[in-house]
A = this chain, B = another copy of it.
Amino acid sequence: MTTSMPSGFSKKSLLDYTASQRGSFEKTLKELVEIPSVSAEPRHQPEVAEVVSRAADLMQQMGGEVRVLETGGHPLLHARFEQSSDYPTVTVYNHLDVQPADMSDGWHTEPFRFVQKEDRYWGRGTTDDKGPALTALWGAKYALAHQTPINVNFLWEAEEEIGSPNFESTVKRHKELLETDSVVVSDTVWVSRTRPACPAGLRGLQGFRFFLETGETDQHSGTSGGAARNPVAEICQLVADCFDAKTGDVKIPGFYDDVVEPTKAELADLKKSGFSTATFKKDHQFKSLRVTDPVEIMKRIWCMPTFEVHGIEGGYHGPGVKTIVPPRATAIVSCRLVPNMDARKIVKLVRAFVKEKNPDVKVQAEHGLPAYQGHTVGPHPDAIRAAMNFAFDKEPVFVREGGSIGAVVPMEKVLKAPVFFLGLSLPEHGYHAPNENYDWQQAEGGMIAFADYFRRVAAIEPAS
């Protein structure tokens, strides 16, 4: 089916639209941001349910056909805006849950208060991912109101930040309801404000907790130190055995076996991506890095796996020195994975390595997320390129993304629909960091890009 080009898609009309919608967009974003939908924290379970229910109301008011799907964990929201069953369907994926946030982490404003200063919006979830979610919705609203021959489904998850543990099973159960021709995900970060970027791949993730218990209670390090085992020290040693903290090199045998190094072409793309070491350092507020060469940094954050320790639980954390031998310790660690690596194989390698190094340490493996190899050629990537260029006056580069989005691989696998990315966040927006923010420039451009993308996708012969 080839469709005629709908009217009203000039930049001027779209800018008039975004200007007229700014108030209602900001009001809605404020409402969602002020619901602390922290999926990782059991005490916030009611708020996760509340944000889904609030978003369901919003979709319904806009005319969507809404279903809140039970997952066994936090609910999954689906809303269909159908114009005709003859039209192709695009599913927009976003998530409504957020990372934990606490004033003590260094926030300058209350994390769950929406604070606006001129064009910038502060608050947990503004950029990850409530802002981009609403931006895509407002873009779709325009496309639908202007007779774009397309159906738009929204799939808004509430468990993304905890690794989408129930996403695949839920999608499997509701395969027919969720049927779609393609998916577009808006949950990724540009190289810089002047350099739009689309991921051509995502890293996967495999988390672990290493637990060691050698006693029952704190003991006096004077009366027992020297003979007593020290679980914090043994856990430190195990972490140091797993990888070299200075270089980042993972020392677990077999860890790198399945890694496919980036091709010359990919490296050439990285070189022209506009990535700047100084900007990367500034955006993430790093004092120093393991390496300084920009291509080497991009390789490390996008194309190579990692071993990371997030914290050591156990022992004394207060002021001064409390001279105890602690009874137990836990290392909270994870590996980022790249395409062709298998999370289950990594779990096996890590378990075997820990068993060899310290057999008393218990290894708990978290739900793994596979890495994702994306699409950079074909009509949809071309539509993304064109829409981004139209909205932001600059063509995006296709780089990789170092983070993981648990839903991506299951959507391709179960729905058999290709997944593309139209991300809107900037490095300085602070994904997972204190003082997370989003801004009107990205929202406005994003609405225009999405509206234009839907128009272009409508012009592509649907796969089905």
Contact = CB atoms under 8 A, between A and B. Distances in A.
Contacts of A434: 217-218
Interface residues of A, number: 99
B222 A404 contact: yes
B224 A286 contact: yes
Contact of A245 (B215, B227, B234, B366): B234
A371 B203 CA distance: 53
A147 to B, nearest CB: 39
Copies in the complex: 2
Contact of A100 (B105, B291, B322): B322
B309 A334 contact: no
Interface string A181-220: 0000000010000000000000101011100011111111
Contacts of A315: 309-312, 332
A336 interface: yes
A233 B40 CA distance: 24
Interface centre among A218, A297, A304, A309 (most CB of B within 10 A): A309
A221 B306 contact: yes
Interface in A153-203: 162, 189, 203
A246 B310 CA distance: 23
A353 interface: no
A317 interface: yes
Interface in A364-401: 366, 401
A451 interface: no
Interface in A286-316: 286-291, 296-297, 300-301, 304, 306, 308-316
A4 interface: no
Interface string A345-372: 0000000000000101000001000000
Contact of A288 (B229, B287, B401): B229
A115 interface: no
Interface stretch (A55-63, A75-83, A236-244, A258-266): A236-244
Contacts of A435: 217
Interface in A307-347: 308-327, 331-334, 336
A10 interface: no
Interface of A: 40-41, 99-100, 105-106, 162, 189, 203, 205, 207-209, 213-230, 232-237, 239-241, 243-246, 248, 280, 284-291, 296-297, 300-301, 304, 306, 308-327, 331-334, 336, 358, 360, 366, 401-404, 427, 430-435
